[in-house]
């Protein structure tokens, strides 16, 4: 075989009102085939009402090695959470 079919990532909206969620991946020659295959593989039991496919090579992902730099700074910023602020119990609706 000359060329392997590219890899696609599949995102499915399970029902209107919910976001598309990553369901998995598959190989297909083009976008149309990727959609058809995604329909057959991931929605055989009414799991979805809408499908997105995107060729995997277009996804830029963060690297776990950078996790410290990227995500740790959020850990000491407790003042971004409502529970950081002390209010008397009698204050309602806040």
Where does this chain bind other proteins (CB under 8 A)? Answer: 1-5, 7, 24-27, 29-30, 33, 40-41, 44-45, 61, 63-65
**Residue 30 Cβ vs other proteins, minimum distance, rounded to whole Å:** 4
**Residue 94 Cβ vs other proteins, minimum distance, rounded to whole Å:** 36
> Which pair of tokens denotes residue 26?
């598959």
**Residue 60 Cβ vs other proteins, minimum distance, rounded to whole Å:** 12
Residues in the chain: 94
Of 26, 63, 66, 58, the closest CA to residue 42 belongs to: 26
Pick the closer one to other proteins by CB: 61 or 91.
Answer: 61
């Amino acid at each position: 075989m000359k060329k392997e079919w590219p890899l696609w990532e599949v995102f499915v909206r399970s029902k209107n009102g919910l976001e598309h969620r990553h369901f998995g991946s598959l190989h297909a020659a083009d976008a149309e085939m990727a959609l058809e295959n995604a329909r057959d593989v991931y929605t055989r039991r009414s799991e979805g009402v809408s499908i997105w496919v995107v060729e995997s090579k277009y996804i830029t992902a963060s690297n776990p090695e950078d996790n410290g730099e990227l995500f740790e700074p959020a850990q000491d910023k407790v003042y971004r959470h409502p529970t950081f602020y002390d209010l008397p119990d009698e204050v309602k609706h806040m």
